[in-house]
């Protein structure tokens, strides 16, 4: 790594000490992250094989709305905290930032519960689930999201303090608990969907207490002085929310669009099949998490345009290369991969390939957006993402029959391509403006020194 940095003109970043730091960080992260993801995939496959398609569709739809509730409860809060927190060193002020973010997020959570619950009920009714099942799923979703929004806040704060490995250690403990509970149930009693969903809440609660214990070394969780600094952080975070809330809502709903379309056509089996195949898409989580947690955080903290460009280029190259490799493996070994899911999902070879193609495009697009949003590079053109995507989807809807899982996945893939191009353009534009500004500041400093 040192030699590579020297060759491209970044020798000041290539000291043996820093190279050793990066190597140790990457190895530690991947060692824990790989084990974590292997356990998560194992749990997912055990659940897929144990449940009927109807029960698994119920499980998938509940998890889908957990994601919707969680993401909408954030709506730019984490982005604001990352952008503001990268320049805070004092524990006192950092604590005020965390409390400010938590205060805003709690209010958003209540708004989301009242706004999204009717859509939740509609989706479950369309798939002909009973009133008891709908009520149970809604309670599970709200209870789980309550823990998840706190966990997300604490995790963002820990990542800002570069406690990546500690975060992965906590996640490993929680995943091992899930594996024991799911595996134990399969061996002793047999697994049902109610038990599987209860385990999700239990895991989120345990994770909450572990994160809370770890964050106490960096943040005063009891109380903070609500002075001008605290109010200032709330105002800054609110600015990020105003800039991102429309985008966050649209992005969140787009992420679950497959399930909405399949629900509309009463395709409960399709929901189960997409959910099952998406287990393999989880392979991108390892890479995406590393790029976001380690590399994007480094990019956000960096102020030098040359270093930002280098790290961004490496991040995108890793993502693209990994996506190509995964797609090739799926193309040649699709039958073997489907065998892992069980006989109910046999014959979905083309659908598996599409799921992984979509995952690759989405992963790269997500990384790009996180870089420019966390850097605060918000141009006046960010909102074009919404009409571009909508126009693409309106055209696709007018020419496609979306009753089958295959056609829905084709629709999803073509919908993601404009988003990738948009994020790539906005990243490049944001970097250009940042580099231009830094150059002007440097020239101004030179003139002042003269």
What average pLDDT does this structure show over 337-365? Answer: 91
Report which of 105, 295, 370, 98 is spatially closest to residue 214, judged by C-alpha positions. 98
| pLDDT higher than 50, residue 1 | no
Q: What is the DSSP string of 36-70?
A: HHHHHHHHHHHHHHHS-HHHHHHHHHHHHHHHHHH
CA–CA separation, 289 vs 29, rounded Å? 10
Is the distance from CB of 183 to CB of 196 less than 8 angstroms?
Answer: no
Residues near 423 by beta carbon (within 8 Å), at least 6 away in sequence:
365, 368, 369, 372, 385
**Cα 62 from Cα 271, distance rounded (Å):** 11
Phi, psi of 218 (to 5 degrees): -115, -25
pLDDT of residue 132: 93
Q: Which residue has the higher pLDDT, 2 or 262?
A: 262
- Give the separation between CA 267 and CA 273, rounded to whole angstroms: 10
pLDDT in tens, 85-103: 766 767 777 788 888 888 8
pLDDT higher than 70, residue 450: no
Q: SS3 for 150?
A: helix
pLDDT at 15: 55
- Token reading at 147: 């823990």
CA distance 174 to 164: 16
**CA 172, 176, 182: angle at the middle one, nearest 5?**
145
pLDDT tens column, 150-171: 888 888 888 877 787 788 889 9
**Of all residues in the chain, what percent carry a pLDDT higher than 90?**
34
Q: How many Cα neighbours within 13 Å face the side chain of 24? A: 6
User: In whole angstroms, what is the distance from residue 295 CA to residue 368 CA?
Assistant: 12
Among residues of the chain, what percentage have pLDDT more than 70? 88
Question: Which pLDDT value is given to residue 173?
Answer: 92
Q: How many residues does the chain have?
A: 450
Q: Quote the tokens at residue 377.
A: 């590079």
Give the mean model confidence (pLDDT) for residues 400-424: 90
According to the model, what pLDDT value does residue 393 have? 92
Averaged pLDDT of the chain: 83
In tens, the pLDDT along 306-336 reads 888 888 888 889 888 989 998 999 999 999 9
323: burial class by Cβ within 10 Å (0-12, 13-18, 19+)? buried
pLDDT digits over 2-60, tens only?
454 454 444 544 555 555 655 555 555 556 777 887 888 899 999 999 999 999 999 99
Assess contact for 358 and 412: CB atoms under 8 A. yes
**In the prediction, which pLDDT does 82 show?**
76
When pLDDT is averaged across residues 237-255 and rounded to a whole number, the result is 81
Instruction: Judge whether 67 and 148 are in contact, CB under 8 Å.
Output: no
- What is the per-residue pLDDT for 18? 58
């Amino acid at each position: 790594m040192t030699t590579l940095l020297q060759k491209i003109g970044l020798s000041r970043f290539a000291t043996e000490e820093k190279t050793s730091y990066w190597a140790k960080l990457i190895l530690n992260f991947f060692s824990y992250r790989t084990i974590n993801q292997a356990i998560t995939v194992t749990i997912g496959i055990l659940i897929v094989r144990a449940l009927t398609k109807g029960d698994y569709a119920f499980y998938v739809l509940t998890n889908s709305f957990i994601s919707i509730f969680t993401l909408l409860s954030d709506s730019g809060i984490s982005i604001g905290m990352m952008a503001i927190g990268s320049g805070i060193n004092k524990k006192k002020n950092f604590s005020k930032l965390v409390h400010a973010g938590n205060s805003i997020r709690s209010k958003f959570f209540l708004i989301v519960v009242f706004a999204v619950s009717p859509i939740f009920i509609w989706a479950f009714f369309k798939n002909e689930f009973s009133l008891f099942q709908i009520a149970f799923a809604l309670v599970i979703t709200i209870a789980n999201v309550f823990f998840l929004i706190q966990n997300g806040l604490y995790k963002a704060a820990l990542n800002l303090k570069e406690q990546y490995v500690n975060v992965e250690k906590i996640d490993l403990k929680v995943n091992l608990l899930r594996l024991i509970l799911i595996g134990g149930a399969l061996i002793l009693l047999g697994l049902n969907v109610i038990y599987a969903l209860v385990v999700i809440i239990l895991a989120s609660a345990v994770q909450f207490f572990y994160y809370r214990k770890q964050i106490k070394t960096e943040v005063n969780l009891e109380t903070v002085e609500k002075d001008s600094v605290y109010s200032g952080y709330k105002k800054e975070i609110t600015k990020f929310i105003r800039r991102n809330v429309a985008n966050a809502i649209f992005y969140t709903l787009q992420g679950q669009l497959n399930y909405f379309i399949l629900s509309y056509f009463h395709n409960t089996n399709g929901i189960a099949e997409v959910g099952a195949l998406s287990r393999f898409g989880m392979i991108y989580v390892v890479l995406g998490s590393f790029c976001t947690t380690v590399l994007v955080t480094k990019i956000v903290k960096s102020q030098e345009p040359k270093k930002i460009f280098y790290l961004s280029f490496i991040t995108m190259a890793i993502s693209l290369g990994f996506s190509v490799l995964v797609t090739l493996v799926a193309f040649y070994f699709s039958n073997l991969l489907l065998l892992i899911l069980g006989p109910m999902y046999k014959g979905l070879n083309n659908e598996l390939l599409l799921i992984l193609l979509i995952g690759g495009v989405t992963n790269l697009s997500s990384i790009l957006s996180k870089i420019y949003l966390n850097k605060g590079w918000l141009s006046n053109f960010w909102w074009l993402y919404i009409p571009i995507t909508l126009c693409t989807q309106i055209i696709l809807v007018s020419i496609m029959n979306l009753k089958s899982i295959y056609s829905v996945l084709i629709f999803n893939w073509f919908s993601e391509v404009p988003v990738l191009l948009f994020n790539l353009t906005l990243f490049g534009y944001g970097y250009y403006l940042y580099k231009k500004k830094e150059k002007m500041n440097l020239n101004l400093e030179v003139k002042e020194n003269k």
